[in-house]
Each structure stands twice: as C-alpha cells, then as structure tokens.
Amino acid sequence: MKLLMVGSLQFWRTCSSTLWHGAAAMLMSVFVSAFLTVANGQGSFIPEQATVVLVSSLTGDVESENVYHDQLQAWLEIVAMRNPRRTVVLCDAPESVSLPAKDENKVFKAGRTNFLGLATMLAGETNPVVMIAWGHGGRQGSTPVFHVRGPRLTPADFHAVADKIPAASHWILLFRGSGAFASQLAGPGRHVLSSESETMFNSDPVSMSLLLKLVKTNPKISFAKLAEELGRTTAAWYTERHLARTEEPTLWAGNDKPRLLATSSPENSPPADKPEPSESQQQKAILEPTPVDLPAFWKEIGRVDASKFPEADAVILRRHLSFTLGSSPAVTTEQDEFIQVLTLEGKRFGDFDVSYAPPFEEIYFLDCEVLRPDGMANISAAARLDGDPAWRGIAGGGNDGRGECAPGRAVPFCLGAHRRR
C-alpha cells in the first residue's frame, strides 16, 4: 500500500490572517509599581512589599511556549527575592505555575476578561505596583494587539487598567506594537519602558532575555537605570551580530517626550512595517491571488476572508482523496489537501503525524509547499520519505535507531515555512 500526498501540506498565509509573527503566542508579564518613591523612576525597580502582576500571553509553537515559560519562572524567582506583598499571574497554562501559599497570590487563565479584572483588583492598591508585559504582539486590521486566547488585548485595555491604579506605576512592554500601548499609557505618575516607539517592526523583540540578565545581576536596580542599560545592551546585541535592529527601546516618563534608548546608525537601521493598507486593500489582498508565477494547482485555490470564519483557526480549502486498486502495489492512496491558517492558534494545523507500517507500506511526499503573501516557499518535491536524507531528518520519529523504520510508527513533522516571521 502506498500513501501519496500530492500538493498536500500546502498552506496559505494572508496578510490579514497572519497576526502571529514570531511566535504566535506570547508571554506578557506586567509589573505595576505605584508608590511615590518610584514616581521619578529612581526607586528600586521592584520595591519590597510591591504587588507584582505577571501576564503570560498565548504561544504559537512549542519552542515559544518553552521560552516564555522559562522567562516566567525566571521572573517569579526574581520577584520572590524582593519579598512582594502579593503576586498575580495570568498565563495560558495556569496549572504550570506554582506560587507561595498566600491568599493574596492568584493565578488566572490569560484572557481579556481576566486582564480587565486587574482594574478592580488594583483599584484600591496602596502598595507599589510594577507592571511588565512581554511576548507576542501584532495587528488586527489597523489596531495593535497583544495576543492572549480569545479577544486580543488592545492599548485601550491597558489604559483602562492603568486608569484604576491610584499611585505611580511602572510599565515594561516588550512586544511588537508596544509603542502604541506606551503612548496611551504615558502620563503623570507613569513611567513606561517599551521595545518600540512610533514604528512597529516585523519581528518580535529580543530584549526580554537581555532585561532578565540585567535584573538578575542587580535586582535592586532603579527603573531609570534599567531603561538606560537595556537600551545600551540591545544596541550592542544587534551590532555584535551585524544585524539590522528590529526594535527601538523607548522610555516614556510622565508627560515628557519619549526618549529613544538605543544608539542608531545608518547601517543598523531596522526594516519597519509598511504603512497599514486600507480596509479595501486588505480585502483585495485576501481574496485575490498572490501576484507571482504560481503553478496551475495553486491558481485553482481561492482564499477565504478570515472575518467570515470568526470561530475558526484554519479552513480546509480543498481536500481530494483517491484510491487505485491493482496488484503491485495492491492499493495506492493519493491525498491532496490545502489549508488556510487564519489565527495564531491555527499554526498547529501545519503539524502532521502520518502513520504507516513499513516495509508493507511506503510513503512518498510529492509536493509540500507553503504559500505566503510574498510568494511560494517550496519545502520539498518528489522526495521519498525513507530514501531522501532531508526527509529522514524531518521524519526522525519513525526510525528505530538502526536506520530502519519500526512497524506501526508514526511520522511527525511540520511545514516550517508557516512559522517564519
């Protein structure tokens, strides 16, 4: 029996549907600091007896999930050393978080309802509050958003929470689109450190790992000093690797003009997002074929408007299954499938687990492709799973360690191009 997958594992990505750059989901920690001694940014970054809120965003793949989980654990260790009055965590996997047994400590599922509930929780807070947010951001239409499960968080949501905090507050926002959030938060009594200023970039920032190193080295560092150090180390990180910088650390102090913290140079100018297209242009981009020289089978596939499937993470555009009966082989199965990913959560539909029983069955992947807004990414063509070295690497789960595939094993792999930033 042969299983043939022709044109299968092919995915569409549309501009309006792919709001999951970099990781699809994201860890957001929010520390809000609200007492007068930190109003000028000179007090300890995390004062003792502060209320600390950590909000973890939605993740889009296993790698991001592990990174964000490790970062959350690192923050919890740092916060514990500062003897907080209470710690509140919002994350996508609350069962994975363990906090000291105190009535004040809370763990919630990350979502817009629970995030807005912070407004009530912090409304009467007299102790300092520090808010840190990091992870994955993007756009819904022209609105910058922070990714959590369900409705995304918007700058207005952050402002609604900040308005209920009576004392001075510190915010750290490290995600795509954070500049738009910071501009709404900026005001008297608030200090905001964001990974972007006015320009929204195409990639998630790298500055969270740099920030953690700085805070671990000096947990008592002041907010103003931390902002200066983060700007310096971020610029150095990109310069050392000869990379174009895709973030712009910015300090928003009260009503002062936003201050860029990283030194820019002409050769280090980062590529920014193109101007947001109008709604009519977005619809046109969704419904019209990508203007590249595509194979005929791609031109037969029509993309859908994600807004017409608000509850769906992905849509099967076409599925064709045929069987041929013969003598050698006895049965040949050919499968052709096209899937359009609509949301961050929909990236899981780019992961496949194909079961087969060698040596009685063989699998040939004739064409595995991902179609992006900027053209075609050809993953492989006419490759035999157990004969081509490239496919051996992808299908490592079906090998028994002796170079042979064990009967009844499954072959797990994913179409990597659908995860590209």
pLDDT at 5: 32
Summarize the confidence of residues 288-293 as an average pLDDT.
49
Summarize the confidence of residues 363-389 as an average pLDDT.
56
pLDDT at 402 over 70: no
pLDDT at 165 over 70: yes
pLDDT at 386 over 90: no
Considering only CA atoms, which of 255, 253, 233, 256 is closest in space to residue 245? 233
pLDDT at 326: 76
Tokens for 36, please give them: 């007068």
E strands of 265-374, at which residues? 314-325, 331-341, 351-355, 362-372
Mean of the per-residue pLDDT values of the chain = 74
Confidence class for position 295, pLDDT limits 50, 70, 90: low
Structure confidence by residue, pLDDT tens digits, 95-122: 999 898 888 899 999 999 999 999 999 9
Domain(s) of CATH 3.40.50: residues in the chain? 30-268
Contacts by residues 270-279 (CB-CB < 8 Å, ≥ 24 positions apart): 270/201, 270/244, 270/245, 270/246, 271/201, 271/202, 271/244, 271/246, 272/199, 272/200, 272/201, 272/202, 273/199, 273/200, 273/201, 273/202, 276/139, 276/141, 276/142, 277/15, 279/141
Give the count of beta carbons closer than 10 Å to the beta carbon of residue 355: 13
pLDDT at 158 over 80: yes
Structure confidence by residue, pLDDT tens digits, 186-199: 988 889 999 999 88
pLDDT at 231 over 80: yes
Structure confidence by residue, pLDDT tens digits, 38-79: 555 556 788 888 888 998 888 877 888 888 999 999 999 999
pLDDT at 112: 95
pLDDT at 355: 66
309 or 351, which is more confident?
309
Cα dihedral value 172, 178, 179, 182, nearest 10:
-50
Tokens for 219, please give them: 């947990």
Beta-bridge mates of residue 40: none
pLDDT at 160 over 90: yes
HSE on the CB side for 404, CA within 13 Å?
Answer: 8
Quickly list DSSP for 209-250.
Answer: HHHHHHHHH-TT-BHHHHHHHHHHHHHHHHHHTT-------E
CA distance 27 to 261: 23
Which of 83-92, 173-182, 238-247, 296-305 shows the lowest mean pLDDT across its residues? Answer: 296-305
pLDDT at 338: 82
pLDDT at 74: 94
Residue with tokens 């997958």: 5
Tokens for 154, please give them: 């918007």
End-to-end CA distance of the chain: 38
Summarize the confidence of residues 384-394 as an average pLDDT.
41
pLDDT at 145: 95
Whether domain 30-268 has CATH 3.40.50: yes
pLDDT at 63: 81
Summarize the confidence of residues 242-256 as an average pLDDT.
91
CA distance 369 to 373: 13
pLDDT at 169: 85
Beta-bridge mates of residue 52: 31, 130
